[in-house]
Amino acid sequence: MILKRDGAVENYAIRRGVPEDAKGIIECMQSVMDEKIYLVSEYYLLTERGERERLKNKDDLTLVCELNGKIAGVTTIQRGMYRKNRHVASLGIAIRKEYRHMGMGTGMIRDAISWSKQQGIEKINLEVFSSNVHAIQAYRNLGFQYEGVRKRQFLIGDRYVDDVLMTYFTSGWNGD
């Protein structure tokens, strides 16, 4: 795929993460966590070894967006682990600051939705801070619906932020 940034054209690839990506995934995730405004955790808890093992799980999906040999974004789909919720998955995404608003997140989420459909996942959930209005609009544009809000769920700096719960139904069901 081609990405335009500051008038320059750069090639990037969205692909499934492999164990050799562990260090780059951790660096990408930590760079977003260091901003302290987009993700709940502020420290990536897995070691490289732990991340390599996580990437071997075929029930879940990790997509990376690679640009100039560097992991610029990560998207995860984690399927429910019990028989009663195997049809449901949670989506997570992190994109390095310098690569946001260029379409790579949208591309990764579309690929994650496609994979989820192929795996029989019927419902994809995500949580997003109410202060992340750009992400909320991007999710809405992709077909995610509001499912609920947990008021004042987080305290970021000195400001309370709601936790917005959003859902995408792969079957097209809209809750009616």
pLDDT tens, position by position, 16-68: 999 999 999 999 999 999 999 999 998 999 999 999 999 999 999 999 999 98
CB–CB of 147/167 below 8 Å?
yes
CB 63 within 8 A of CB 15: yes
pTM of the model: 0.91
Instruction: Classify 47 as helix, strand or coil.
Output: coil
Query: What confidence score (pLDDT) does residue 8 get?
Result: 57
Q: What are the extents of the domains in the chain?
A: 14-169
Specify whether the CB–CB gap between 70 and 97 falls below 8 A.
Answer: no
Confidence of residue 5 (pLDDT cuts 50, 70, 90): low
Alpha-carbon span 124 to 89, nearest angstrom: 5
The CATH number of the domain covering residues in 14-169 = 3.40.630.30
**What rounded mean pLDDT belongs to the chain?**
92
